[in-house]
């Protein structure tokens, strides 16, 4: 893999609740970007309980723990490349840096080293997609900090989840992120909920950048087969909505319209900052 000069864009999936779809969306974003011809690395920073390799049915020989070890021994001569696992299907390829296989290794991963790893990945890839755990940990905050775009995922099943989402959004706003950096995405939108959408956006004080439908069967089948929805034939509703999320963000043949039609936003940050390499 030849190094490229540009700095790859960092897209981080984050949420304040678990099981809202970060890993499902993250694997699909990576696959769709790869389908679009970009060089992509998917980094599993849900260190203890990461699911990326499960969702893609990968058996990694090396993980981020090996990458950290390489940095400890070789300093800046360490090559993260040797620790990547390829995911390949029908000629589409992207790379995964897996979470550690042992809990004690996960515990010992240092945020500073992860930053160096990501910086090296930026020299090799157009996009680094980062899957996280649902907490404001030192590691996650440092990744949110260096991200080009934060996809903040939420589902709105109960008032407490909306409240937690609001406090997460408010925290990120307090960190003075560029408004364009934070993309609030509603997942499983038509799942049974008793809370009307205008009430949700009223509580959040935000509108959704994009909305993904609920499709348990499609999500489940994709995880079982290890094939991201965007790469399966036919393109069901959820797969198409995931493709649209990427198209909107990269300005690929998509007319910019906010998901709820209420708010203008400029979008296309990925493309403007980091064109295809």
Ligand X SMILES: Nc1ncnc2c1ncn2[C@@H]1O[C@H](COP(=O)(O)OP(=O)(O)OP(=O)(O)O)[C@@H](O)[C@H]1O
How far is residue 203's CA from residue 14's CA, in Å, rounded to a whole number? 19
Instruction: Draw the binding track, 166-205, toward ligand X (x: CB under 6 A; -: no contact).
Output: ---------------------xx-----------------
How far is residue 76's CA from residue 156's CA, in Å, rounded to a whole number? 44
**Does the footprint of ligand X cover residue 210 (CB under 6 A)?**
no
Question: Which position's Cβ is nearest Mg ion?
Answer: 23
Residues paired with residue 87 on neighbouring β-strands, in sequence order: 94
**Does the footprint of ligand X cover residue 28 (CB under 6 A)?**
no
For residue 226, the minimal CB distance to Mg ion (Å) is 15
For residue 129, the minimal CB distance to Mg ion (Å) is 13
Choose which of 220, 256, 263, 276 interacts with ligand X (CB under 6 A): 220
48 touches, from Mg ion, ligand X, none (C-beta below 5 to 8 Å by class): none
**Candidate segments 88-96, 110-118, 120-128, 207-215, binder of ligand X by CB under 6 A:** 207-215
**Burial class of residue 177, CB neighbours in 10 A (0-12, 13-18, 19+):** middle
**Candidate segments 61-69, 194-202, 211-219, 261-269, binder of ligand X by CB under 6 A:** 211-219
Of the two residues 24 and 182, which places its CB atom closer to ligand X in the complex? Answer: 24
Considering only CA atoms, which of 45, 112, 43 is closest in space to residue 76?
Answer: 112
Binding footprint of ligand X, residue count (CB under 6 A): 21
**Does the footprint of ligand X cover residue 215 (CB under 6 A)?**
yes
How far is residue 12's CA from residue 31's CA, in Å, rounded to a whole number? 15
Cα dihedral sign, 23-26-32-33: negative
**Does the footprint of Mg ion cover residue 23 (CB under 5 A)?**
yes
Of the two residues 23 and 201, which places its CB atom closer to Mg ion in the complex? Answer: 23
Choose which of 214, 232, 251, 252 interacts with ligand X (CB under 6 A): 214
Residue 60, C-beta contacts closer than 8 angstroms, at least 6 positions apart: 53, 85, 96, 98, 101
What's the first-to-final CA gap in the chain, in angstroms? 13
**Does the footprint of ligand X cover residue 78 (CB under 6 A)?**
no
C-alpha dihedral, 263 to 264 to 267 to 273, nearest 10°: -130
Residues paired with residue 88 on neighbouring β-strands, in sequence order: 93
For ligand X, the binding residues (CB under 6 A) are: 15, 18-24, 46, 51, 134, 187-188, 212, 214-216, 219-220, 223, 238
For Mg ion, the binding residues (CB under 5 A) are: 22-23, 51
């Amino acid at each position: 893999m030849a190094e490229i000069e540009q700095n790859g864009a960092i897209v981080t999936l984050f949420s304040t609740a678990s099981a809202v779809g970060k890993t499902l969306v993250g694997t699909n974003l990576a696959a769709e970007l790869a389908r679009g011809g970009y060089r992509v690395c998917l980094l599993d920073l849900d260190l203890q309980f990461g699911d990326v390799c499960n969702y893609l049915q990968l058996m990694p020989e090396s993980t981020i723990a090996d990458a950290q070890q390489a940095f400890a021994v070789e300093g800046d001569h360490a090559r993260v490349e040797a620790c990547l696992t390829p995911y390949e299907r029908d000629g589409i390829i992207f790379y995964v840096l897996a979470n550690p296989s042992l809990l004690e290794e996960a515990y010992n991963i240092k945020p500073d080293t992860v930053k160096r790893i990501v910086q090296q990945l930026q020299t090799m890839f157009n996009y680094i997609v980062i899957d996280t755990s649902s907490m404001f940990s030192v590691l996650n905050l440092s990744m949110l900090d260096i991200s080009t775009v934060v996809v903040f995922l939420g589902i709105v099943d109960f008032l407490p989840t909306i409240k937690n989402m609001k406090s997460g959004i408010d925290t990120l706003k307090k960190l003075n992120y560029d408004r364009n950096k934070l993309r609030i995405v509603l997942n499983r939108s038509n799942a049974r909920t008793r809370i009307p959408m205008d009430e949700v956006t009223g509580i959040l004080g935000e509108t959704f950048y994009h909305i993904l439908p609920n499709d348990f069967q499609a999500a489940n089948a994709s995880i079982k087969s290890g094939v991201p929805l965007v790469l399966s034939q036919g393109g069901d509703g959820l797969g198409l909505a995931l493709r649209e999320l990427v198209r909107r963000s990269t300005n690929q043949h998509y007319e910019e319209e906010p998901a709820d039609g209420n708010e203008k936003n400029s979008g296309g940050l990925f493309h403007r900052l980091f064109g295809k390499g």
